[in-house]
Copies of this chain bind each other. A is one copy, B any other.
Amino acid sequence: MFHFFKYNWQVRDEWFDLLQTLSQEQLHQSRTGGVGSIAFTLFHVIVVEHNWISGLGQKALSGAEFKDYQGIAELRQLSQTFRKDIEEFISNWHPEMAQKRLASKLKQEEESFSYPEILAHVIAHEIHHIGQLSIWARELGLKPVSANFIRRGIL
């Protein structure tokens, strides 16, 4: 399962490279669907991944705010910083953790999710949002980053 994290990070880094050519206006322009803009999509996938993994590791949430990460350079830096935490979590993973559950306060009623369920959720979450970016990139005349998992040397 952790191979998908590596995939998402490779793809995300390639999106940073591609999108650094855009103006701030293009990055922040309001768009239909998803979370509403290219910049906020990047912030959102970075923070959602880190929040869930912080939860699994029983660590405090970062509290990162979008207003502090308005450009590609800042977003890339945030991504790199958070990635270290996630790599640490992954390197400390042991099979018994697959039996653990995390209580969540996302909804009014109490609920909990298994650790593997959350890892799968985080993975699918980013791939889904990157699919949205690919549409917006085409609308801007850009060739999207490849979503291929093959030919990345990951598995």
Q: Which residues of A contact B (CB under 8 A)?
A: 1, 3-4, 7, 32-34, 111, 113-114, 116-118, 120-121, 123-125, 127-132, 134-139, 144, 147-151, 154-155
Give the copy number. Answer: 2
Report which residue of A118, A120, A137, A150 has the largest number of chain B beta carbons within 10 angstroms of its beta carbon.
A150
Determine which of B33, B118, B124 lies in contact with A127 in the assembled complex, contact meaning CB atoms within 8 Å.
B124
B139 touches A124 (CB 8 A): no
Using A116-B155, A127-B124 as known contacts, say yes or no to A135 and B34 having CB atoms under 8 A apart: yes
Bound-complex Cα distance A139 to B3 (A)? 33
B120 touches A3 (CB 8 A): yes
Bound-complex Cα distance A137 to B130 (A)? 16
Chain B residues within an 8 Å CB radius of A3: 116, 120
B147 touches A128 (CB 8 A): yes
Using A128-B130, A128-B131 as known contacts, say yes or no to A120 and B7 having CB atoms under 8 A apart: yes
